[in-house]
Every structure is written in structure tokens, then in C-alpha cells.
Amino acid sequence: MQKNQYNIHYQNKNIKSSLSNLVSYICTTTVKFPNDEVRESFKDSLYEELNETVKSKGKTSEDNLINALVAVDIDGFMSTLESSFSSIPYFFFLQEQNKNEAFYYSVLHAFLRGAKLNPESEKCSNVGRIDIVVNSIPNITYLLELKHDQNAHTAIEQTKNTKYIQQYVRQNKDIVVIGINFDSDKRNFNDYECKYYDFQGNEISDRDAFLDHLDKRKKNLSRDTRHG
């Protein structure tokens, strides 16, 4: 019993430490403040809100995000994100320095990191930077391109025009690209769009066809393993 209590205390301590580091990262690298006093006040408020969110529904949201990506359930993934963004107090969105893509990007990164999805931010290629890459899901790489007060189609077109997927082709993982647009008035995303590709970079028409492709690859792998 004493060992279990220690483990729970240790895990909670790690969560609090991670949240503290994450809030410090957001407040020093991605969000601009008029002075140090405003920065420290924002850090304290953001930490308290994120900590409460983690305690109240963090585990459920974490599981939902992971399960949705494993199942290629983009609607479910976005629904969980919508709920998470809705939990952020409105006054964070009213601050002038937060009315930009960087704020939404930072919060999204925080949610994904909290779900232990190990997001890679602003992943560089020879033609630009991909906003967020999630490469921790077996057999699938997710590329997320974000826009603010524009539309998701613009985000998708950017990934196509710059050929962001090329550096992930032939890594034996299929690819899902999600374009997301965040809306200032809604204080949440209002639009998203997806594109699906096989591991060789060939576009797949829609989710159903992509799931069929995944199923065939799984069966082929199982057959090769048996014969091997």
C-alpha cells in the first residue's frame, strides 16, 4: 500500500513538473507579452487551468485522442480537441498577444504532449516547416498544418504545394495530413480537412479507402510473417 501511494505521488509530481515546463516553454518562446509582470501572471493562470483540466478529465481526453488517431477517426480526434479548447477560460483569448496562430498552435501542442503523443513542432524540411508531426502511432504518421482566421483547405493546399509529405515517404508508414483552421470569434477550430497517402506517397481518395488499404497491408504482413 505504501509503495502504491509513493507511485501515485511520484506520478503526480512528474505531471506537475511537465506542466510547469510546458507553461514556461509556451510563455517564453511562442507568446509575446508587453512586460514580465503580465507574463508571470499569464503563466500562473495557465498552469492552474491546465492542472485542473488534467485532474478533471485529462485521462479521458488522453485516451480519446490516442484511440482516435489509432482508428483514423479524425472526427473523433477533432471532437476531443474541440472539447479541450472549450475548457480554456475566455479571458485568455481576449488578450491581444494571444489573438494569433501561435497561441492556438501552442495550446494544441500542449494537449498532444499531455496525451503523450510526442508531437514534433515546426518540423523542418527543405521547402518549409510542418507545424506539428505526430509519429508515435504505429503504421501511421500524422501531419498537422494550422491556419488562423483562414480555412482548412488553404492549410491542405500548402502541404500539397510544398510537398511536405516527401520526407515521410518510404518510411513504411502511411500518412494522414490534417489541415485545421482556428477561428478568433469561435475561440476554437471551425474547419478541418484531411488527405490520406500510402507509404509511397500516393494519394488515397478517402477514409474508407484508407482503412481498406491499412487492412490489406496488415493481412499481407501477417501472411508474410507466417510464410517467413
Residue 2 has pLDDT above 50, yes or no: no
Q: Each residue of 185-214: pLDDT tens digit? A: 888 889 999 999 999 999 999 999 999 999
How many residues does this entry show for the chain? 228
Q: Each residue of 87-100: pLDDT tens digit? A: 776 556 555 554 55
Residue 3: band (very low, low, confident or very high) from pLDDT cuts 50, 70, 90: very low
The pLDDT value recorded for residue 39 is 67
Rounded distance between C-alpha atoms, residue 132 and residue 113, angstroms: 11
For the entire predicted model, the pTM comes to 0.73
What's the grid cell of residue 86? 472549450
Half-sphere exposure of 146 (CA within 13 A, CB side): 21
The pLDDT value recorded for residue 93 is 57
What's the grid cell of residue 81? 480537441
What is the percent of the chain where pLDDT is above 70? 65
Q: Which residues sit opposite 180 in a β-bridge?
A: 146, 192
User: Do residues 159 and 92 touch, judged by C-beta distance below 8 A?
Assistant: no
Q: Each residue of 7-64: pLDDT tens digit? A: 323 233 334 444 555 566 566 655 566 677 766 676 666 666 666 655 555 567 788 9
Task: Give counts: helices (H), strands (E), the chain.
Answer: 8, 6
User: Do residues 152 and 192 touch, judged by C-beta distance below 8 A?
Assistant: yes
| Average pLDDT value over all residues in the chain | 78
The pLDDT value recorded for residue 215 is 95
Rank 37-46, 96-105, 157-166 by mean pLDDT and report only the highest.
157-166
